Structure 1
């Protein structure tokens, strides 16, 4: 068994999740404490600028290492904020850093275009290892993308471990709603997984531009608005939804232009319905209808989104907490798990999760020296 600390900063740009697990990188997972550390508005502004800058990068392998302009500033800020979060976490939980065998560092995705074999996560893994004095596994997506895979989602092998350890009879679907939403189908054989479509990103961005808020807390504004069904139909006409899995998305793959002229409550209601409807459509791509959907991620806190999902899904849905899992910490836990698998050179992506030709390990390990 190894003790691993996992870090996740998602496409919602809300902050950093930190979690500890003890695991063998296979079936045994024992979650420990977890905490979240919010980005401040200066952090988020810098990351938004980095997302815009990344759109200008040419999609070639040499550009993966490029950090022009604001990207260099953002990478330094992301690395520093993660180091601060780790130190604050260990102090709050009275955990000795020396007890951590490996840190799993996702970094911050600024562009993800697997069709061009191009993905960039900013964050200096070697710098973080030096700052904390522990080994760091990072850059988990690059090898898969270079080999022709989607490079996402990466969490399915952890979802599978949780489902199997729980002894749940399949098929079970684990739904994570972050900035982008993704689904893992667990039954006999390797997990099947893909990005379903938009998660929270469109909603969050419109809340920020329209109201200066970082999210629609609890789904309250969506509940007060009216869905524009014509706009919703146009949004759902996107070619992505007809594509068979495996498939993955960039945070900015969808546009909210179609709802930009609507009153803000109606725009948010329509975008929330877009997320729920696209997830329901994703179920149609699965080999069999799942018996149960387990909901995790930041979207689990959006009560309007949860209600719409219950109306659309063809099966029951429960929150991850009902199984003793953590909806908020699950992705951070997953990167701790992936870090241990990297130590053992075990695969983290599969033909059924990213479309890569054969199961592949992924990630780079930076020592503390």
Structure 2
């Protein structure tokens, strides 16, 4: 009989806007019982510290290296995750003993799949000590050691959720629009294909912050007042990333931000929203079949301009677009839930990644388990 565990997933993504905390009861296979969710925003000062971590990591070639300042940021990040777990348990009336495992993503500060290098800061042992709960972390490394891109990892969870939409031969594609967007396609016979699809929120966030000091475009309101600058859109969409059949995972820095003065605030935001939507459609053309339905999660689903563009483009290809909420899910919680699910799969030695998701040579498990000191 499969063991059902209670897991908490912790996610801090490429948007660097905060920590997502979600609880899941699962056997790491087909049984999934979704629990509560809590989002905890980073303050502006710590977001700047994380941006500094990207600069500090850029010259590294050893994934275990933590030069002094980067190590300090790692400790700060880990403590904030421990505090987030405490806040979550208190809010929902839970104790540490009620939770079997934490799935800890950490913060990606460098991702160079072509060099077999990925670095996520976050001290799993320190988190286990501070929380009193076993922790599974560093879930990307084993995939890369077996020839994979180290991303995306969420498809295993998407595949588990997709069954209810696969009646009548529907072909489902989950779209996560975070800092970077990614796709998970699940065909009618359960075939999985997944890859990063292009820039999501990162370029828009960078542009709006540079122009206004705000960290994002709420609801896509700024973009909604602008016009697409065709030359800028063509430059992004003409990237070599979109050419050829070999898909690769992306680093936050792979698409350069707009330079100050290239466009008005509104036109820049509108153009980058267009790029975010068009990137998904261009990359979806490499899927085995055209999806019947796209289910959108991540922060980008709240940007009305991105969603309107995406729905229009997909509709012309005969596909339907719906938000995670329309599909019965929580679009904010899905990535954190995935990390809880993956932690349980790791404990069971089940695959986290597959040749069709990361390009790994064979299905592989991964993650490092650390227990709190007794």
TM-score of the two chains, using structure 2 as the length reference: 0.95
User: How far did 1:244 drift?
Assistant: 2.3
1:53-76 per-residue CA deviation (whole Å, 9 max, x = no partner) reads 111213xxxx11111143112101
User: How far did 1:177 drift?
Assistant: 0.3
The structure-2 alpha-carbon separation of the partners of 1:190 and 1:246, relative to structure 1 and needing over 3 Å to count, comes to: farther
2:177 aligns to what? Answer: 177
2 CA distance for matches of 1:165 and 1:111? 36
1:65 aligns to what? Answer: 64
Residue 18 (structure 1) aligned to one of 17, 21, 34: 21
Q: Match of 1:340, SS?
A: helix
CA contact (8 A) 1:178 1:297 kept: yes
Deviates more, 1:64-73 or 1:171-180: 64-73
Which runs of structure 2 are paired with 1:343-354 in the superposition (5 Å)? Answer: 343-354=347-358
Q: Mark the runs of 5 or more structure 2 residues left unpaired by the alignment.
A: none
CA contact (8 A) 2:207 2:258 kept: no
2 CA distance for matches of 1:260 and 1:7? 38
1:222 aligns to what? Answer: 223
Q: Mark the runs of 5 or more structure 1 residues left unpaired by the alignment.
A: none
CA contact (8 A) 1:231 1:259 kept: no
1:273-301 per-residue CA deviation (whole Å, 9 max, x = no partner) reads 11111111111101111110001000011
1:292 aligns to what? Answer: 293
User: How far did 1:257 drift?
Assistant: 3.6
User: How far did 1:174 drift?
Assistant: 0.4
Matched, 1:47 2:50: yes
Q: 4+ residue stretches of structure 1 with deviation over 4 A?
A: 165-169
User: How far did 1:260 drift?
Assistant: 4.9
Q: Match of 1:17, SS?
A: strand
1:304 aligns to what? Answer: 305
User: How far did 1:190 drift?
Assistant: 3.9
2 CA distance for matches of 1:24 and 1:191? 20
Which runs of structure 2 are paired with 1:99-138 in the superposition (5 Å)? Answer: 99-138=98-137
2 CA distance for matches of 1:344 and 1:170? 30
CA contact (8 A) 2:203 2:258 kept: no
1 CA distance for matches of 2:276 and 2:166? 30
CA contact (8 A) 1:231 1:258 kept: no
1:62-119 per-residue CA deviation (whole Å, 9 max, x = no partner) reads x111111431121011101100000001000001110111110000000101100000
CA contact (8 A) 1:2 1:23 kept: yes
User: How far did 1:323 drift?
Assistant: 2.3
1:327 aligns to what? Answer: 331
1:140 aligns to what? Answer: 139
